[in-house]
Amino acid sequence: MDEFFDVDGEARRALDLLGPAPDDWVPARAGIDHNVLIVGGGQTGCAFAFALRRAGIGRVSVIDAAADAAGAGVWLNRARMKWLRTPKTLVGPELDVSGLGFRAWYEARYGRDAYNSIERAPRKEWAAYLAWYRAFLDIPVRYGVRLVRIEPAGDHFRLHLESGGEARVETARKIVLCNGVAGNGHAFVPEVFAHLPAARFAHTSQAIDFGALRGKSVAVIGAAASAFDAAATALEAGAADVHLFARRDVLAAKPVSRTRGYPGAYDNYLSLPDALRWSQARRFRREGSTAPRDSIERVTRFANFHLHLGAIVGAATVIGNRLGLRVGDEDFSFDFAIAGTGYVIDLFSRPELAELAPHVRLWRDQYTPPPSESDAGLGAHPYLGEALEYLEKTPGAAPWLRDIHVYNPAGFVSAGVPVGDVPSMRRDIPAVVRRISRDLFHADLDTHAARLDADVPADFDATLYAAHLRNPQEHDQPLSQDIS
């Protein structure tokens, strides 16, 4: 017999058992608008807002460049998978409050049998869960606000923002970058496609009108999950045929990151030696990013899907209304091409990071691998501290970098997981919040020392116990030595 629950009631009970969130203990500072600015209002930005609230840190603001909640995050936009790629059992934005978790929400809505029947969370249901999480916890997100520039200003930052076409400046002591896969770089478009018009080409990071591809011939470049998901979406939308071109001779099929998924490695990864973390990142690059089995099955059920292995596109040209691709010694003609070619980490390409980028320590500044293990792409990742904060390239040159925490995939080499995805939440959000708490506390230590030394009124006086005092004179009498 299946059971259904009142999800709001269950979540409210869980919070009630946990107790009320502490009052804001951070002293206000003149000229400071926010103790913490969170950039990105998706799943991680909202989870950080909740965790900071539970830590008693107030004056937290969440901004998102999207016009509204539907446009924030990836789940209703760039994500095209049927199911999340992570197990349903992982701790997500609920952190230590199980009543706020996906399982509690899904069982309340569909029942325990329905939850037991799924291996991973359906993407659209995950998006609905996140919308409930944000609304239930009353996490305000300022939509339509874009971070244009971070300007260091001593012990805080001046944040140059754009909202509704107007420029404004706000100030914050701490920044958390929850701004997605391109947050420290940009989508990677192979040079051969860079000149193509939007009418013939798109990257998977962009909005794509798949309905317009009905009856069309489509090329997909890349063999990771996003490429297969785009190919499947085109086929399901009625594309005449889809050809997927992969550089490798065999599809990547070994998810090597699973070897470090146990608590010992997972919880202590940031303290591992640089050489070991680098070798793990290199191993992932060698084996390749694997698409889930169901993503591949999703396309192979179509007879009009064609897979090309060991295929490198040498040229792309627009001829009339068609797109010509030269692959090896073959020529192909398509109506549209989609690049599922991933992202590049490049701080210098982000306008908002322009003043910071020259000072940030990158992996290439920190670690020199053996020649056989060199990798320019990995070397461009920022070398992050244990709270995922930027570190200085030159000690003492930019101490304010420690007040910017990077919660996006640029932390992969340092942290060993795709930072910002569900697997990173249980470990990294509490660690970042603890560091923010510590830094804010010590920054106002004199104020807190005075608060700690403040006079405390007595809860009671001697009248509470006076009637039970023994006669003081009894304490002055020597004990009898006569034991006869």
CATH classification of the domain holding 229: 3.50.50.60
What is the predicted pLDDT for the residue at 474?
54
Residue located via tokens 């969170």? 38
Indicate if 222 and 172 belong to the same structural domain.
Answer: no
Give the model's confidence band at 70: pLDDT under 50 very low, under 70 low, under 90 confident, else very high.
Answer: confident
In a domain, 259, yes or no: no
Total number of domains in the chain: 2
Map residue 316 onto helix, strand or coil. strand
In a domain, 53, yes or no: yes
Indicate if 204 and 176 belong to the same structural domain.
Answer: no
Query: Which range, of 4-18, 164-178, 214-228, averages the lowest pLDDT?
Result: 4-18
Q: What is the pLDDT of residues 269-281, one digit of tens each?
A: 999 999 999 999 9
> Checking DSSP bridges between strand 336-339 and strand 343-345, what pairing results, if any?
unpaired
Q: What is the pLDDT of residues 97-128, one digit of tens each?
A: 999 999 999 999 999 999 999 999 999 999 99
Paired tokens of 28: 């206000």
Segments forming the whole domain that contains residue 296 = 189-252+288-341
What is the predicted pLDDT for the residue at 483?
45
In a domain, 168, yes or no: yes
Give the mean pLDDT of 227-232: 98
Indicate if 198 and 333 belong to the same structural domain.
Answer: yes
Strand (E) positions, 192-267? 201-203, 217-221, 241-245
For residues 20 and 15, what is the distance between their CA atoms, to the nearest angstrom? 7
For residues 21 and 8, what is the distance between their CA atoms, to the nearest angstrom? 18
For residues 391 and 117, what is the distance between their CA atoms, to the nearest angstrom? 45
Paired tokens of 223: 């063999």
Indicate if 238 and 300 belong to the same structural domain.
Answer: yes
For residues 331 and 194, what is the distance between their CA atoms, to the nearest angstrom? 19
Q: What is the pLDDT of residues 320-351, one digit of tens each?
A: 999 999 999 999 999 999 999 999 999 999 99
Phi-psi group of 190: left, alpha or beta (phi > 0 → left; psi -120 to 50 → alpha; rest → beta): beta
- What phi, psi does 168 have (nearest 5°)? -150, 160
Give the model's confidence band at 471: pLDDT under 50 very low, under 70 low, under 90 confident, else very high.
Answer: confident
For residues 213 and 233, what is the distance between their CA atoms, to the nearest angstrom? 10
Amino acid sitting at position 382: P
Amino acid sitting at position 314: G
In a domain, 86, yes or no: yes
In a domain, 358, yes or no: yes
The structure's pTM equals 0.93
Helices (H), 259-341: 263-268, 274-287, 293-300
Q: What is the pLDDT of residues 1-35, one digit of tens each?
A: 456 668 898 899 999 999 999 999 999 999 999 99
Cβ atoms of 87 and 177 within 8 Å: the answer is no
